[in-house]
Amino acid sequence: MKVGYLGPKNSFTFQAASTITDETELVAYPSIPFCIQALEEHQISFAVVPIENSLEGSVHASVDRIFHQDKLFVAGEIVLPIRQQLLGHPDEQTITKILSHPQALAQSQRFLETNFPNTPLEAVASTTFAAEYVANHPEEHCAAIASNKAAGEYGLEILAKDIQDNALNQTRFWVLTATKGETLDSLGKPARNTLFMTLPDNLPGALHKVLSCFAWRNIDLSKIESRPLKTSLGEYFFIVDLTLDDNQALIQNAIEEIELLKGHTRNIGSYPVKIIQ
């Protein structure tokens, strides 16, 4: 079984992918579209990609790509805490520069303003690249913001621990499959169901009527989000996450009712959700 992921090695997506298989089966891809394409072309059995971050919101490169083709399904979800570490050489006295991915620099902004107000920051391609650069250039006295895993991989010391601004910073990753109905049992029992939904044209209060189909049946929506259909302004599709209980039959009834109202739904999977502490 080959599992593709958004690389490089030791990225947060790598950490998520590591929870479902061991390293020998993991294949890194340089971008989300390349990773998803490899799954579409059956070069890999699963693709692990980030879907949503608690600070930044949905990862559009993933969500839009999954919507705009119709061959991929969700086999499971992994929720990972995003903890950033300041890494450097042991006993580093003066840090002349701090390197990281722009998103990691942004997530650690308050820490940096308080502790390193005058130290230059440099945006690089990945947190892994930053750690590797620091490891290979001890004479430059620079530091990297990267993960715990990167510290171990490159023999760096954690100079400051968990420096991200928000303690609750988490990212959702989806394990995608090209096989309808496939779920990853190692992640647990199916707990969530995700639908893509487009609303009936010219029906006043369409979203309210469609949500009624769920509300009447006490089906809990854990999330609803709109994304542009890429046709014209004001036309959207919706991503709806439903909490699975003993209500699979009720969800099926709601979906049928939405179709009768001339809405369209696409069920992309009932899948387990594993939260990593």
Q: Which one of 31, 109, 166, 248 is in contact with a second copy (CB under 8 A)?
A: 166
Query: Shortest distance, CB of residue 25 to a second copy, whole angstroms?
Result: 28
**Residue-by-residue DSSP string for 139-189:** GG-EEEEE-HHHHHHHT-EEEES---S-TT-EEEEEEEESSTT---GGG-S
Q: Does 209 bind a second copy (CB under 8 A)?
A: yes
Our CB check for a second copy shows the closer of 143 and 239 to be: 239
Our CB check for a second copy shows the closer of 140 and 220 to be: 220
Inter-residue contact 75 to 271 (CB < 8 Å) = yes
Q: Does 161 bind a second copy (CB under 8 A)?
A: no
Query: Shortest distance, CB of residue 56 to a second copy, whole angstroms?
Result: 7
Neighbours of 232 (CB within 10 A): 7
Identify which range of 25-33, 134-142, 153-161, 220-228 contacts a second copy by CB under 8 A: 220-228
Residue 199, CA distances (Å) to 153, 184, 202, 218, 233 in order: 49, 31, 9, 21, 15
- Say how many CA atoms lie within 13 Å of 208 toward its Cβ: 3
Q: Does 55 bind a second copy (CB under 8 A)?
A: yes
Q: Does 195 bind a second copy (CB under 8 A)?
A: no
Q: Does 53 bind a second copy (CB under 8 A)?
A: yes
Query: What is d(CA 176, CA 171) in angstroms, rounded to the nearest whole number?
Result: 16
Query: What is d(CA 155, CA 222) in angstroms, rounded to the nearest whole number?
Result: 41
Inter-residue contact 66 to 36 (CB < 8 Å) = yes
Q: Which one of 9, 83, 223, 266 is in contact with a second copy (CB under 8 A)?
A: 223
Q: Does 211 bind a second copy (CB under 8 A)?
A: yes
Q: Does 40 bind a second copy (CB under 8 A)?
A: no
Inter-residue contact 59 to 52 (CB < 8 Å) = yes
Q: Which one of 21, 37, 170, 253 is in contact with a second copy (CB under 8 A)?
A: 170
Q: At 165, which amino acid appears?
A: D
Query: Shortest distance, CB of residue 176 to a second copy, whole angstroms?
Result: 19
What's the full length of the chain, in residues? 277
Our CB check for a second copy shows the closer of 178 and 207 to be: 207
Backbone conformation region of residue 267, classed left if phi is above 0, alpha if psi is from -120 to 50, else beta: beta
Q: Which one of 94, 234, 249, 277 is in contact with a second copy (CB under 8 A)?
A: 234
Residue 80, CA distances (Å) to 77, 99, 158, 237 in order: 10, 23, 20, 27
Helix (H/G/I), strand (E/B), else coil: 220: coil
Our CB check for a second copy shows the closer of 186 and 222 to be: 222
Q: Does 83 bind a second copy (CB under 8 A)?
A: no
Query: Shortest distance, CB of residue 209 to a second copy, whole angstroms?
Result: 8
> Can you give the binding site for a second copy, defined by CB under 8 A?
52-57, 60, 79, 166, 168, 170, 172, 204-205, 207-209, 211-212, 214-215, 218, 220-228, 230-236
